[in-house]
Chains A and B, each alone.
Chain A
């Protein structure tokens, strides 16, 4: 029986088709493939999440283990549009980032993240502008404030302001007993109302970009 491949050797020798076939199979070939996949995912996450962004080793091992389970469960969804290792890594990255976000935000309430008084237009006018330019910026921001107060539903307002305040959609969703896709749709609808409302107030998107020099 040959020695199991190391992570370096595994990556060099294993084609996408071989990954899928071995992981979908059983016995020694599957075990070897699972072991090699674990090495690839752990190595990638360790390198990408260093410099203060990371999870400690024990947590990374847990994330990789959960990711391997997830990859095995959805193996039939791999369509070959990217390399298998890239696809698998995307699953692991999503799991790792979800864990990091939850750790950072789990004790922060939605109320603390955003409330109606948080949007203060006067804070966003650029310093050092002439009076006309400053007045234009203030007009846009006042229009935004009006639309936020008048046209957004309570849930849209809360989700949008919490999101802009830095809370991840996944965490907002958790606190609203919803899911990330539904929260994205909620904030998308809010942004559309804001965009439409600004246009009706005389500020098309290109105008706003020009006024704020985006």
Chain B
């Protein structure tokens, strides 16, 4: 099946965004809970490790998807009436 224009453009973006040292999926997922909480708290002053997480999820669609689902899950849990609401 031919790649669509969007898919080819997506490949170009990923190629352009490739950094010399990238974090692996395993390392990203080890830090993803910390990243989700810091982003949810509005923190933009990310340490080097979390900047690497941010770069990785910009490139890796699966880790990006897991970040989004985790973010939603935590929002729901911590929202009013959720099982972990404060």
Measured CB to CB, the residues of A under 8 A from B are 6-8, 10-12, 39-40, 43-45, 47-49, 53, 81-83, 85-87, 89-90, 92-94, 96-97, 101, 112, 117-121, 123-124, 126, 140-141, 144, 160-161, 163-166, 168-170, 180-181, 184-185, 188, 191-192, 194-195, 198, 205, 208-209, 212, 214
Contacts and interface: CB of A to CB of B under 8 A. Distances in A.
Given A93-B69, A118-B3, A184-B25, A124 B37 contact: no
Closest 7 CB pairs of A and B: A11-B84, A44-B73, A47-B76, A124-B8, A48-B73, A7-B83, A82-B33
A94 B5 contact: no
B62 A97 contact: yes
A119 B8 contact: yes
Contact residue range for chain B? 35 or more
Contacts of A212: 9, 12
Given A141-B8, A168-B62, A212-B9, A89 B73 contact: yes
A145 to B, nearest CB: 10
A82 to B, nearest CB: 4
